[in-house]
Amino acid sequence: MIVVQNSIVSDDIADRRFGCDLGCCRGACCVDGDSGAPLLEEEVPVLEAILPEVKPYMTAEGLDAVERQGVAVRDNDGDLGTPLIAGGACAYITYDGDLALCAIEKAFRANNFQFPNFNFQFPKPVSCHLYPIRVEDYGEFTAVNYHRWDICRSAQGHGDPLYIYLKEPLVRRFGQAWYDELLGQIKISNND
């Protein structure tokens, strides 16, 4: 366990290697599951503001789900998440053949990394950007863990350690000072 500010970070973040392999999984993380991608409260108005830019990339089923459920929904625990299409896929899904992709990210990239009329500089909700890292807020502290899912088996053990592979979303979620402290803690633990 690594302690960074008010976060408890699993050793897996420093030790485990991961390299997303869309050629193998075909974007299954956007299709499978029993709830949508976790959202932060501050991401809801962002989704509302950028929805007109994202709609052209969404499926008809996804558009219907957002129109019926809204841009975000609360699950039985009261947690915010993306709405789902019947069958479990995220409402913000799009396809390139049989490859599931994020319509938000596709719109973001099509607009040269910005959404007109809105200061949004990231390609998708932070929980998706961070995956396979999952963040749980417990009030006094935040848990930062590696989420193992069978659909990501081909990505496990390849690529860079998670803290390097997911540097951009970690900095996005926690800030540069937090990330620099994480690097320092990993360096200390590696020298032990």
5 has pLDDT over 70: yes
Neighbours of 191 (CB within 10 A): 6
The answer to whether residues 116 and 134 belong to one domain is no
What's the domain count of the chain? 2
The stretch 67-86 carries a mean pLDDT of: 92
Of 121, 140, 174, the residue at which a domain comes to its end is: 121
Q: In this structure, what DSSP letter does residue 122 have?
A: S
The answer to whether residues 21 and 95 belong to one domain is no
The answer to whether residues 46 and 99 belong to one domain is yes
The answer to whether residues 13 and 53 belong to one domain is no
For residue 155, what pLDDT band results from cuts at 50, 70 and 90?
low
Q: In this structure, what DSSP letter does residue 75 have?
A: -
Q: Note down the domain range covering 74.
A: 39-121
- CB contact at 8 A, 101 and 25: no
Res 164: pLDDT: 93
Q: Would you give the end-to-end CA distance of the chain in angstroms?
A: 14
Neighbours of 161 (CB within 10 A): 15
**pLDDT single digits (tens) 9-57:** 999 999 988 887 777 677 777 787 778 889 999 889 989 988 998 999 9
Assess if residue 34 is contained within a domain. no
The answer to whether residues 54 and 100 belong to one domain is yes
137: part of which helix (H) or strand (E)? Answer: strand 133-137
Q: How far apart are CA 15 and CA 142, in angstroms?
A: 19
The answer to whether residues 15 and 43 belong to one domain is no
Q: How far apart are CA 115 and CA 88, in angstroms?
A: 27
Name the average pLDDT for the chain: 86
Beta bridge partners of 152: none
Assess if residue 93 is contained within a domain. yes
Assess if residue 47 is contained within a domain. yes
Of 73, 102, 121, the residue at which a domain comes to its end is: 121
pLDDT > 90 in the chain, percent: 46
Instruction: Select the highest-mean-pLDDT range: 72-76, 156-160, 178-182.
Output: 178-182
Neighbours of 158 (CB within 10 A): 12
The answer to whether residues 75 and 137 belong to one domain is no
Q: In this structure, what DSSP letter does residue 44 have?
A: H
145 has pLDDT over 70: yes
**pLDDT single digits (tens) 109-144:** 887 555 555 555 677 888 888 889 999 989 899 999
- Min mean pLDDT across 60-74, 86-100, 150-164 is at 150-164
